[in-house]
Amino acid sequence: MEKEKRIYDKLEFRVGTAGNSGERAIEGHAAVFNEYTQIGDSFIEVIEPGAFDSCDLSDVALLVNHDNQSLPLARTQSGTMTIWIDKIGLAFKAKLDVSNNPAAKMLYSSVARGDVKGMSFAFIVEQDDWQNLNSDLPTRHIRKIKKIYELSAATFPAYEGTDVNARARIILASAKRTADEDAAELQRLKKEIKERYGLATEEKKIDWKEAGEAFKEKSFSRRVQSPYNIFGERRTMTVAPSSSGESSIIVPTYSSANINPDFPVVSSLIDSVAHLSLNGGESFLQPYVTGIDLGGYTGEAENAAEAETAFSSAQINRCKITAYCELSEELSKLPAANYADVVFQNIKTSIQGFLTKEILFGEGVSNGGFSNRLVGIFSDKATAIASDTDFSISQITDITLDEILIRYGGDESVEATPCCLILHKLDLLAFAKVRTSTREKFYDIKFSTGNTGTIAGIPFILSSALKPLSITANEGGAQSGDYVMCYGNPKSYLLTEFSPLEVTRSDDFKFRSGVSCFRGNVFCGGNVVKKNGFIRICKS
């Protein structure tokens, strides 16, 4: 399998501020699903939804123009770039250190000015199907991408002159190939198809329509890899004789080569909080202001009125979070579906899901053999939040949102942006059920990607770690005194990474029994780092 590169022209970039004052962020999509695009004069290509589901995204670097000789500007392994799959395609967000890295500053400026509009990525295809092979432009459906090596901001995307809408269409092209190289590439691909499906390889013209029928009729030993691939695996089973003594027969059974993913289990809260990457260490101390004295009148030759600024600090201690799973070689090698890749990716998902829960409910105390834990927003160890700012509600009404917003902030202000409401999905439904006197919806709720959106223009993030206010405790809801929501700027919580999140696979530990072991770990800590950075709501 050869490494390929694809360039997307005129993608939508968004720029903004990242976690630190010296950081800026760019985000967008590096690949898009369901776009039929001509690759030179060779073929039409489309990336199918699900192509990235088991893709190895464990170590992807951000480069400019695929320049491997330069240092990467961000990287998933260090936590400075995040990659995820949404309904559009392969999305990314990269933190650029514009203060210390001139190349990062140049890229950020070029994206912000609109000088850089293209995004490219280098990848290896694991499974693809071909259709219309008798035409001049066969169609290639990429079903599964094995690995992505790097994303690159592209200075000169292919087909630069094409006038297209950035959100409606993309132009995909092979990387700077001549017409002769395009023809050679087409011949290489056709040869690969012949060899893969056992067709004639002697030098003679092949009827590609006939070849397509041959693909359909061809019997494969275990895995079906053809343009007509519906079943990824074929096996046989014996049907026992009937009561009348008829002879048994053997019929095939099938299983899919694809594994349908679960719904997202990680709240986007983990991406919304502030992040600080440190190389090792035991703890981190973040100071914050707790109060400012006001000035006063002063008589002639008298001392000036004192106006002290009071400070405090949030202590963030290192803790260790791990996830582990074992997979037998039967499950790893025999099925058509790649269970091992899914397990590998879900180890990371497992750790991220746990971290999201701990951002809210981490106890921040020692417990038996464990050293430290994250200090959650709802923990009494979150000393930046004064407990007398908490308040209780019994149900969600037409004044609930106003009450939350007005209670938050200092005595001289009401904060709305960039704050958000963190709540359970069922409580979002309760907001949607509130009606006016004419039975119209009181709150205008809009949904964005993932588990975010707005309620009457106020951003929200859903989290299943919370217990809903709107159902009884017997039904799984909150009891009296339980925290059910919080509101504030997510950046008021700092997640400090003392080491990057790593996932490793070992086939040595249980070599004798043929078991593959997957283990993920991260050293990190977290705490609220701004005075009353969140207002906490509990059930009365």
Nearest to 21 by CA among 276, 393, 264, 195: 276
Kindly tell me if the per-residue pLDDT of 236 is higher than 50: no
Structure confidence by residue, pLDDT tens digits, 244-280: 555 556 666 667 767 777 777 788 898 889 998 888 8
Tell me which residue of 197, 39, 139, 38 sits closest to 206, measured CA to CA. Answer: 197
Mean pLDDT of all residues in 404-427: 86
pLDDT value at position 466? 94
Q: How confident is the model at residue 194 (pLDDT cuts 50, 70, 90)?
A: low
The dihedrals phi and psi of 405, each to the nearest 5 degrees, come to -65, -45
Instruction: Please report the DSSP string for 65-104 in residue order.
Output: TT-TTSPPSEETTTTSEEEEE-SSEEEEEEEEETTT-HHH
pLDDT above 50 (res 34): yes
What pLDDT score does 374 carry? 93
pLDDT of the residue at 191: 67
Token pair of 222, please? 């275990």
The predicted structure's pLDDT at residue 477: 92
Q: Looking at residue 532, what is its pLDDT?
A: 93
- Give 108's Cβ-side CA count (13 Å radius): 24
* Each residue's pLDDT tens digit, 282-307: 889 999 999 999 999 999 989 999 88
Could you report how far apart the first and last alpha carbons of the chain are, in Å? 61
pLDDT bin (cut points 50, 70, 90) of residue 46 is confident
Q: What is the pLDDT of residues 387-403, one digit of tens each?
A: 999 999 999 999 999 99
Element (DSSP H or E) covering residue 311: strand 309-317
**What was the pLDDT predicted at 157?**
53
Higher-confidence residue: 159 or 493?
A: 493
Of 173, 476, 113, 519, the closest CA to residue 348 belongs to 519
Mean pLDDT across 72-95 = 89
Per-residue pLDDT band for 241 (boundaries 50, 70, 90) equals low
Distance CA 162, CA 490 (A): 40
Question: Residue 535 — pLDDT band, cuts 50, 70, 90?
Answer: very high
pLDDT of 227: 35
Determine the average pLDDT of the residues in 70-94.
89
Give the model's pLDDT for residue 192.
62
